[in-house]
A and B are shown apart, each in its own frame.
Chain A
Amino acid sequence: MSVARTVGIAVRALGALALLGFVLAAFTPAVNVLAHRLSAPPELRRADAIVVLGQAVQADGTLPPVSLQRTVYGIVLFKRGLAPVILFSGARLPSTDLSEAIVRADLARELGVPATAVLTESNVQTTRDEARRIADQLLPRGARRILLVSEGAHLMRARRLFARAGFDVLTAPSDGAVADAGDPESRLWALRGIASEVAARVYAALL
């Protein structure tokens, strides 16, 4: 069999798989089932600190929707009295003084969280960095049990990294208890999130 023919068959098989995957993802609840399996459940109990994981900050100093959702949920948990301190994580934008953590902390103070209860960690880029740096900051203060805030799928990976860094981790998914995506567009966005998280897990396992 010629190379061109073999490549042609392989490409067609991939295309058929992609089409089947698209139909299943967009028009059936398969993505919701997958999301439930890959997502950490809410474990909202009292902890020594709330840790809100970083996502991104825009160049104009505003928080993108996912970061804002995590921040606001962390503040809500603090206001419910689930921990005495809240730590915001988030990287600094290259060549600026702007960091996601500082923007979040400012927002928390504006929303009534006492300045003495707010901590930040800006020297991070990956979840692995966050686990290490935040352990350096919180464990010496005796804050071992933490309530970790991020999306449910991200928390599955983050929980392992923070537990390895010495924390007793409770998870607080900021996207709720995995809301079921009810239309094709929402399901495809959910699939994109799952694919991104799976790629991050593969990358973390390889390096």
Chain B
Amino acid sequence: MSVVGDHLVLLTAGLTSIGAVVVGVRLLWLSGRALPAALTTVIDVLGLTLVFCLANGVLGVIVLLAERHLRGQQVSLHRVDDIALYVVSLLQAIAFQAWRTSGRTRD
């Protein structure tokens, strides 16, 4: 594979990120100083995604074990290893992070 081919994902992501910064600053008048906070939010969402993944996975195993027990027959635990679970966990994390940073708390 070529040198570019080996690093295609990094190259394209790097170029579009630079493009996004230029568009944000020049066209949308966004503050460059707010960028680190935005990147921190991404890290928070990743952390929450991991938490939701683990919670969904553990709960999934418990539900399948309960199903095995109730039906009296084997149910494969590999059903927990579904790629949709990662996507759902990401969506849960985005929603929870938006809620967390909404600044509204109960009085």
Contacts and interface: CB of A to CB of B under 8 A. Distances in A.
Summarize A's interface: helix, strand, loop or mixed: helix
- Most chain A CB within 10 A, of B1, B40, B61, B74, is at B74
Contacts of A34: none
- Most chain A CB within 10 A, of B46, B61, B77, is at B46
A16 B45 CA distance: 10
Summarize B's interface: helix, strand, loop or mixed: helix
A200 B61 CA distance: 11
Contacts of A196: 78, 81
- Contact-size category for B: 20 to 34
Interface string A184-207: 100000001000100110010000
Interface of B: 1, 6-7, 9-10, 40, 42-51, 57, 61, 73-78, 81, 100
22 contacts: A10-B47, A11-B47, A12-B43, A12-B47, A14-B46, A14-B50, A15-B42, A15-B45, A15-B47, A15-B50, A16-B43, A16-B47, A17-B50, A18-B49, A19-B46, A27-B9, A91-B76, A125-B75, A126-B74, A183-B1, A183-B6, A192-B81
